[in-house]
Chain A
Amino acid sequence: MSSGVAVWFPIGVMIVGSAVVVGTMVSINRLLGPRGRDSAVKSEAFECGNPPSGGAWGRFSVRFYLTAILFLLFDVELVFLYPWAVALRDLGMFGFVEALVFIAVLAVGLIYAWRRGALDWT
Chain B
Amino acid sequence: MNTLNLANLGFAWLPLLPLIAVAVGAAIILLVGVRLEDEDSAGLGILALGVLLVSFVCTLFTIGVNAEAFGGALLTDDYTAFFEIVIQAAAAISVALSLDYAADNGLAGAEYYSLVLFAVLGMMLMAAAGDLIIVFLGLETMSIAVYALAGFVRREARSSEAALKYFLLGAFSTGFLLYGIALIYGATGTVHLDGIRAAIVARAASQPYLELGVGLMVIGFGFKVAAAPFHAWTPDAYEGAPTPITAFMATGVKLAAFASFVRVFMIYLGPAAAQWSGVLWVLAALTMTVGNVVALVQDNIKRMLAYSAIAHAGYALVGMTAAGSAAAVLYYLVAYAFATLGAFAVVIVLERRATAGLRIADYRGLAQTRPGLAAAMTLFMLSLTGVPPLAGFVGKLYVFAAAVDSGHVPLVVIAVINSAISAYYYIGVIVAMYMQEGTPEIEPSGASPGVLIGVAIAALAVVLIGIAPTPYMNAARDAFAAAAGPPAQATAFAR
Contacts and interface: CB of A to CB of B under 8 A. Distances in A.
Nearest to A115: B34
A17 B314 CA distance: 63
B30 A112 contact: yes
B31 interface: yes
B1 A111 contact: no
B1 A116 contact: no
Contacts of A91: 2
A116 B108 CA distance: 11
A90 B2 CA distance: 8
A112 B31 contact: yes
Interface in B221-263: none
Interface string A68-104: 0000000000000000000000111010000000000
A121 to B, nearest CB: 19
A30 B91 CA distance: 69
Contacts of B34: 112, 115-116
B80 to A, nearest CB: 22
Contacts of B6: 94
Nearest to B493: A94
Nearest to B108: A116
Contacts of B30: 108, 112
A69 B1 CA distance: 36
B27 interface: yes
A50 B128 CA distance: 62
Q: Is the interface of A mostly helix, strand, loop or mixed?
A: helix
A105 interface: yes
A87 to B, nearest CB: 9
Interface in B32-63: 34-35
A105 B121 CA distance: 14
Contacts of B27: 105, 108
Interface string B16-32: 00000001000100110
A108 B31 contact: yes
Contacts of A115: 31, 34-35
A91 B1 CA distance: 8
Nearest to B9: A94
Contacts of A105: 23, 27
B4 interface: yes
Interface residues of A, number: 10
Interface in B82-112: 110
B6 to A, nearest CB: 7
Nearest to A89: B1
Contacts of B23: 105
B13 to A, nearest CB: 14
Interface in A4-49: none
A111 B424 CA distance: 52
B448 to A, nearest CB: 27
B22 to A, nearest CB: 13
A92 B23 CA distance: 26
A90 B1 contact: yes
A116 B2 CA distance: 41
Contacts of A92: 4
A115 to B, nearest CB: 4
A108 B34 CA distance: 11
Contact of A94 (B4, B31, B35, B110): B4
Contacts of B35: 115
A105 B26 CA distance: 11
Contacts of A111: 31
Nearest to A90: B1
Nearest to B27: A108
A94 B1 CA distance: 13
Nearest to A116: B34
Contacts of A90: 1-2
Contacts of A116: 34
Interface in B337-368: none
A69 B161 CA distance: 20
Contacts of B31: 108, 111-112, 115
A90 B30 CA distance: 35
A66 B418 CA distance: 47
A115 B31 CA distance: 9
Contacts of A108: 27, 30-31
Interface of B: 1-2, 4, 6, 23, 27, 30-31, 34-35, 110
Interface of A: 90-92, 94, 105, 108, 111-112, 115-116
Q: Return the 7 tightest CB-CB contacts between A and B, nearest first.
A: A115-B34, A94-B4, A90-B1, A108-B27, A112-B30, A112-B34, A116-B34
20 contacts: A90-B1, A90-B2, A91-B2, A92-B4, A94-B4, A94-B6, A105-B23, A105-B27, A108-B27, A108-B30, A108-B31, A111-B31, A112-B30, A112-B31, A112-B34, A112-B110, A115-B31, A115-B34, A115-B35, A116-B34
Given A92-B4, A115-B31, 11 more contacts: A90-B1, A90-B2, A94-B6, A105-B27, A108-B27, A108-B31, A111-B31, A112-B30, A112-B31, A112-B110, A115-B34
